[in-house]
A and B are shown apart, each in its own frame.
Chain A
């Protein structure tokens, strides 16, 4: 018998994809569509009532402050979604992320507030049996870097421990990290109460406050290191002295900038006063037109057209103003705290205010000082994760560990190390999240990070990560964080709708994404 099928090869059965099909088969395409939809909603619904614009970026959702605040929510979620997402790709879960955020934040804040000590408890029999403490090490005035470092030791160890228990026991990571969730949250509350304990209190609070604004500590020439706000509140004579000590071109630049601001503010005030004066007349005009009193309407129209008001006079620039602007412009003396809690892109946002006049609020002042620095950290971490997952050996190990554990093992992939490393990375991301919060707001609270683990997992799922592991991309996780972070804002602006509908929407998106992901996975596995 002749073989009649020789002309047709096995490889011919795989259709070469057209460009469009290839794009549509990308796992991120659905989420990107949803993201663009939400961007559109946020833009159009946030356009102030009565105005019309085809440009969605004209809406309040996309003004400078809107961008600043939305990106903060998105990037903070994005940071932990990276840790959660990579772990899911490797086939495991981490439910302890939220508690880890609370724990790390509290740990950092406590170290910054009270220092760090290693004590050894022992039983003492002097005057009745009780526990004494021997202090081995005690450091106070801990720097931001040291506080983060010490906290990392605890959190990364805990991440390692969870990973170790999971791979050695074979227990589902769901259970092990669920234990971690309760354990860490409890530990955080217990330690915060213990450290806040005062003799006159029976219970301490579960917050840490009164941490100095470390990121804003600056070196003021002639005055040494002090907090920015304290420096700006110096006596007038001191501020004048500071202003006078500045070089002429600095003074000129600051003066130009201040004059612009004062004029802009005066303009805005004048506009507001005109609007205030005109508004009652407009209402009267409407009434007149409604009642058909044309004579009256004409008079009022005339009055509106001729309405004049004395323009508000711009403030004059003083030496103290110059000194304060100068103090604002001094770069921080604590770069680590500023790296986590400060702002970035300040020159760009300055430029967008003056001369661009976009980053300007209704009162003529600069709207947003810059972006939160967690955005930069998120971008850096995302790039790092993208390179590791898509371009390195470790990435292939992560995919195979989640895709087919036995195959990975048989090919010599150190799957246990991969998993444990990713548990540690997840703890790392949570700690970074906590550092961003602590150094931004200078407080810590035991309730911080509540439910964040589920949000991180949800963002990863929305971004196309398959829950059973082995499939997903960093691009997807990023898009997922955008969707999750922006949904709330987008729904907030829809007129006449309860803001909580965003949760209803997210619930649907999560299930729809999971169904879509499963469909894509089956298509690739060849079972669909």
Chain B
């Protein structure tokens, strides 16, 4: 485990999140290194969403701490998390389908001639950057004025990822990036993730419940069940059967198979 010698890009220590009397996360510790894809797996209700919401600053943890590059951070808002270098690509991608690629790429962070909401947009420069950044992770778009609604699911995913990286994400959180896509589109997205991984300086947290995808691309795995980590390790550490068992929340897959066979 040579990577463990270096400082993790992002690390959580014993994160606990309670909603009233309900414990959503019960002491989750996680280490993600740069240049790695860290798959976060677990069944519905395992606490994946709660964990990424804490990491992206939507709400604070009840206890526990988060460090980015060794420094303890706390986020009061999603903006804080973005500023600290955590870029989250949600399932809905936070895109406005009715406007152009460029307008979406720079949404909320438009380049203007002077610093004011009424500053004129530097449209040409923005077009160029948007095209370039998307090309870097593998998608060439023919027209930056194209409405996002006319793009394929894979293209949209790439747009959202390129945007997060361009605006300084060192940690990229991908929430179920392949869930709503067709087979071919899923492969496109995985290729995109691979290219981001190859950039080398970005840590990717991949939330999924598709273990096939996770196994194709992830370097490291963490399994959540009922708000706790029930298993972790590198790709080598885990055998295929293990992943299946852990995915199902620790139930013995063999038992399940037996039950079904009856």
Contacts and interface: CB of A to CB of B under 8 A. Distances in A.
Interface in A1-18: 5, 9-14, 16
B99 A525 contact: no
A471 B99 CA distance: 8
A468 to B, nearest CB: 10
A525 B98 contact: yes
Given A392-B121, A400-B107, A526 B150 contact: yes
Contacts of A333: none
B84 to A, nearest CB: 14
Interface stretch (B1-9, B139-147, B205-213, B228-236): B139-147
Interface in B81-114: 82, 90, 92-99, 103, 106-110, 112
Nearest to A522: B149
A407 B120 contact: no
Contacts of B152: 10, 13
A299 B65 CA distance: 115
Nearest to A415: B108
Interface in B12-71: none
B142 A411 contact: no
9 contacts: A14-B151, A16-B143, A396-B107, A397-B108, A410-B78, A411-B108, A412-B109, A524-B150, A525-B97
Contact of B99 (A11, A12, A387, A400): A400
A284 interface: no
A124 interface: no
B154 interface: yes
A419 to B, nearest CB: 14
Interface in A472-511: none
Given A392-B112, A408-B96, A410-B90, 20 more contacts: A10-B188, A11-B140, A12-B142, A14-B151, A391-B123, A392-B120, A392-B121, A396-B106, A404-B95, A408-B107, A410-B94, A411-B107, A412-B108, A470-B99, A524-B97, A524-B98, A524-B149, A525-B98, A526-B97, A526-B151
B109 to A, nearest CB: 7
Contact of A412 (B82, B118, B120, B184): B82
A411 B141 CA distance: 22
Contacts of B240: none
Consensus secondary structure, chain A interface: helix
Nearest to B116: A393
A399 B98 contact: yes
A391 B103 CA distance: 11
A394 interface: yes
Contacts of A400: 96, 99, 103, 107-108
B79 interface: yes
B194 to A, nearest CB: 15
Nearest to B102: A396
Contacts of A407: 92-96, 107
B197 interface: no
Contacts of B147: 524
A10 B154 contact: yes
Nearest to A401: B96
- Which of A16, A388, A396, A526 has most B Cβ within 10 Å? A396
A452 interface: no
A479 B188 CA distance: 43
B200 interface: no
Interface in A323-354: none
B136 to A, nearest CB: 15
A525 B92 CA distance: 14
A404 B104 CA distance: 11
A298 interface: no
B12 to A, nearest CB: 22
B13 to A, nearest CB: 27
Contacts of B254: none
Given A524-B149, A526-B149, A10 B96 contact: no
Contacts of B149: 524-526
Contacts of A391: 120-121, 123
Nearest to A16: B142
A409 B233 CA distance: 36
Interface string A84-100: 00000000000000000
A11 B139 contact: yes
Contacts of B109: 411-412
B178 interface: no
- Which of A5, A12, A394, A408 has most B Cβ within 10 Å? A394
A210 B168 CA distance: 65
Nearest to A388: B118
Nearest to A525: B149
Contacts of B103: 396, 399-400
